[in-house]
Amino acid sequence: MCPTMTEPLPVAFRTWFAARGWHPYPHQLAMLDAARAGHSALLIAPTGGGKTLAGFLPSFVALADAPRAGLHTVYVAPLKALTANIADAMARLVGEARLGIRLDVRTGDTPSSRRRRQARMPPQVLLTTPESLSLLLSRPEATTLFAALRTLIIDEVHALAGTKRGDQLALCAERLATLAPGLRRVGLSATAAHPAALAAYVAGGAPGGARIVRAGEGMAPEIGLILPDGPMPWTGHMGLASAGAILRQIERAKVTIVFVNSRAQAELLFQALWKINDRNLPIGLHHGSLDPARRSRIEAAMAAAELRAVIATSSLDLGIDWGDVEQIIQVGAPREAARLAQRIGRSNHRMDRPSRAFLVPANRFEVLESVAAREAVLARDLDGEPPGPGTLDVLAQHMLLTACHGPFLPDRLFAEIGRAAPYAMLGRECFDAVLDFVETGGFALRAYDRHRRLHRDALGRMEVRTEAIARTARMNIGTIVETPRIRVRTRRGRDMGSIDEYFASTLVAGDTFFLGGEVVEFLTLRETTATVARSAARTPRVPVYGGSRLSMSRGLAGRVRDLIHDRARWDLLPPDVRDWLSAQARRSVLPQPDRLLVETFPRRKRWYLVAYGFEGRNAHQTLGLLATRILEETGAAPLGFVATDDALACWCMREPADIHALFSPRLLEGDMTEWLAESAVVRRAFREVAVISGLTERQVPGRSRTGRQMTASTDLLYDVLRRYDPDHVLLRATWQDAARGLTNFDRIRALVERVQGRIDHRRLDRGSPLAVPILLELGRNRIRNGEGEELLLREAEALVHEAGLS
């Protein structure tokens, strides 16, 4: 370490580093440099690069150089747990280096006594979450609390930008900058696909933008593939066939994180591993449905290296570093190269050693995806969509909360909001429509004109009209809309975790299911608590958990298409997968990059159509809704469809005609989107928009079920709003969300445009090898929309009559 580089560090820090035999990383000093120049900055660093310290160091140095009272730095992280962990780590540093800086945490878990203390005497550094920051800003006292704020640190920027929470935080950052002119912003991010967009996100309206500081990349990771002992399964996503191989790999390392894609998969794999865990290796389980206390116990055990492995969902994607993790194992499809790289980074936090990872594909298509993901990570070709434009429901919530803080002039607020990167392109017309919604509901029937939420004074300033309205607005803060959850407890009152309300409602006494790696028997459901007892049952049901399902990214999809087509690279694939592709080439044709392969064939008195779009499950689901509509029109009488990440399969009474016309731009025309608007996915998008925008009230956990039945279902609101007020701004917001996220309509559009005049239609006498995995999925999925519900209803009736129940 050259002496000039440590010079900017005050002596207390130099002593602290030296006592540990550490040196500051160059990027930590570069962040200090940016701070001294008054620049905002975005640090891009792999895990283990001392990223968090790099973010705090400039604030600590400034406060050590010139101690002062009052709030100096606000740190925001996406998770409550992460905020608490970082606070502990930083408090330790501050104590050890005797810096005399006061840190405190403010999240939804902070007790009210501590909140009051913070209000009386604010800490110099406050660690919080986007929701709690939003709440603080909605209070009139925010003006004084944040007046002397110098720095805003946003951690895990890559996980926030482009999400609704990210939109909320960007708006709050501009609010802070208005209250505290000259505010400097600091972003901390993992390696990500769109650094310039992230820098713009962090900078917002900060003069001069954000300087990008990059830490060294560290060494390239070592990524292996784990295959099952037997043949590669045709279908399934759980990876249980590889349990033996996974356990052997866990035995080889000191500590392993086994990442999976869903909570159900975590429970099943946990069971499968313990069934064969003859040496009783300590293996734990961590996912979002487990009781928080239990999750923290697992985290503590991991940190203390008491566990050999933990099976985790995205609940461990972010978080503090556990130095001893030697390897990660990803079971199931990687879905996104960027997420895989992030997960791989959770192993080995030393930058001078490679991270080790193993991929465990659960089926043949996942082998292709895993090989593609490995190539992408090694080539540092990270995918992920660039952050999109800010959402209007979040904007509506923010406007109302701003009005709760104090009066604002619409022109000034419009300028402030336009400085937030997600809203840079927001037009005045749109701003005014959202403001009208906030003020009056924005309905064509001006029923609430005399009951506005906002009051305009003589100067044209707007303020929330009554304290009751402000109270409701504050109750409704937040951009995460979860399906209602039911707490699960034993008869002795031990908290086990939670299950989806929907799943709970399907349980009858005596049913058994997995939770927290145990098999439990359902006893009773009272209000929002389910009581269970341990059970010795062997074949329990698998809970249905909420949570979003990630689709295979565009980048990986492109790589999978290339890999299938490029025989020269097939030696990367296991023999049974190679044979499968060869058989496909013989019996049908291999899907070509930039063309769309569509096969039709008869099977059991039905006609099947399989389109290999490789656009991810969400997009294929939407394509299925649209394509079955056209098949209906052209007389093929479709009965249902199933969507996977790789393909769409529809089955019909009659042979589908004119395949080329089926995938034409006709799919994207107005009446088709109208049809899509009826679907369950768009309804789900509306539910989120209705809650976030404050159209309807958030369901408060613990409220009695009879109370809940009085809550107007957003489905009913959606139907009525579409009928009476089709141009309402929230319907616009819903469509904007759905097109990007749940329906992936954007990807369908891109697909249709890409393959125009490039469709390979094969009419076969039976299903092709590539179609086998999709055909095996049949019977699990069916049409899920208004029309399909009618079929479902008839089918349910038929089942009841067949069973002689009626």
Partner 1 sequence: MNARRGDGATIMLGREELVLLPQKAVYWPAERMLIVADMHLEKATARREAGILLPPYDTHETLARLLDLVRTLRPETVLALGDSFHDAGSVERLDTHARERLAALAGLTRTIWLVGNHDPELPSTLPGTVVPSFARRTVTFRHVPSSAANVRELAGHLHPKARIRAGGHAMARPCFVVGGGRVILPAFGAYTGGLDVTMPPIRSLFPRGADLYVPGRDGLVRLSMRAG
Q: Is 505 in the site for partner 1 (CB under 8 A)?
A: yes
Q: Is 119 in the site for partner 1 (CB under 8 A)?
A: no
Q: Is 448 in the site for partner 1 (CB under 8 A)?
A: yes
Q: Is 632 in the site for partner 1 (CB under 8 A)?
A: no
Q: Is 451 in the site for partner 1 (CB under 8 A)?
A: yes
> Which ranges of 643-802 would DSSP assign to H, the alpha helix?
659-662, 670-677, 680-693, 705-708, 714-724, 729-740, 745-755, 772-777, 786-802
Q: Mapped to the 3 state alphabet, what secondary structure does 17-35 carry?
A: HHHCCCCCCHHHHHHHHHH
- Angle at CA of residue 784, ends 779 and 789, nearest 5°: 100
- Angle at CA of residue 178, ends 173 and 181, nearest 5°: 100
4, 113, 548, 806: which one binds partner 1 (CB under 8 A): 806
Q: Is 502 in the site for partner 1 (CB under 8 A)?
A: yes
- Segment contacting partner 1 by CB under 8 A, of 142-150, 439-447, 737-745, 758-766: 439-447
319, 441, 555, 741: which one binds partner 1 (CB under 8 A): 441
Least separation in angstroms between CB 440 and partner 1: 7
96, 251, 669, 789: which one binds partner 1 (CB under 8 A): 789
19, 306, 466, 586: which one binds partner 1 (CB under 8 A): 466
Looking at beta carbons only, is 181 or 779 nearer to partner 1?
779
Helices (H) and strands (E) in the chain, counts: 33, 25
Report residue 363: phi and psi, to 5°. Answer: -150, 180
Q: Is 704 in the site for partner 1 (CB under 8 A)?
A: no
**Tokens at 726, concatenated:** 């089709």
- Segment contacting partner 1 by CB under 8 A, of 235-243, 315-323, 347-355, 504-512: 504-512
- Segment contacting partner 1 by CB under 8 A, of 166-174, 225-233, 290-298, 470-478: 470-478
Least separation in angstroms between CB 122 and partner 1: 29
CB 513 within 8 A of CB 543: yes
CB 342 within 8 A of CB 384: no
Interatomic CA distance for residues 12 and 6, integer angstroms: 12
Q: Is 447 in the site for partner 1 (CB under 8 A)?
A: yes
Looking at beta carbons only, is 296 or 696 nearer to partner 1?
696
Amino acid 210 reads A
Looking at beta carbons only, is 56 or 408 nearer to partner 1?
408
Q: Is 22 in the site for partner 1 (CB under 8 A)?
A: no
Q: Is 799 in the site for partner 1 (CB under 8 A)?
A: yes
Report residue 496: phi and psi, to 5°. Answer: -100, -25
Of 705-724, which residues contact partner 1 (CB under 8 A)?
Answer: 705-706, 708-713, 716-717, 720-721, 723-724
694, 741, 767, 769: which one binds partner 1 (CB under 8 A): 694
For residue 552, the tally of other CB atoms under 10 A from its CB is: 29
Per-state percent for the chain, helix, strand, coil, to nearest 5: 45, 15, 40
Least separation in angstroms between CB 472 and partner 1: 5
Q: Is 120 in the site for partner 1 (CB under 8 A)?
A: no
Amino acid 141 reads E
DSSP 93: H
Least separation in angstroms between CB 785 and partner 1: 11
Ramachandran class of 666: left when φ > 0, alpha when ψ lies in -120 to 50, beta otherwise = alpha
For residue 247, the tally of other CB atoms under 10 A from its CB is: 21
Q: Is 440 in the site for partner 1 (CB under 8 A)?
A: yes
Ramachandran class of 62: left when φ > 0, alpha when ψ lies in -120 to 50, beta otherwise = alpha
Q: Is 802 in the site for partner 1 (CB under 8 A)?
A: no
Interatomic CA distance for residues 55 and 53, integer angstroms: 5
CA-based nearest residue to 644, from 602, 615, 603, 606: 615
Q: Is 511 in the site for partner 1 (CB under 8 A)?
A: no
Which residue matches tokens 């101690």? 67
CB 644 within 8 A of CB 365: yes
Q: Is 624 in the site for partner 1 (CB under 8 A)?
A: no
Interatomic CA distance for residues 408 and 396, integer angstroms: 14
Least separation in angstroms between CB 470 and partner 1: 8
Looking at beta carbons only, is 471 or 758 nearer to partner 1?
471
Q: Site map for partner 1, 604-623, x if CB under 8 A?
A: --------------------
Binding site for partner 1 (CB under 8 A): 400, 440-441, 443, 445, 447-448, 451, 453, 464, 466, 468-469, 471-473, 502, 505-506, 508, 525, 694-697, 705-706, 708-713, 716-717, 720-721, 723-725, 728, 779-782, 784, 789-790, 792-797, 799-800, 805-806
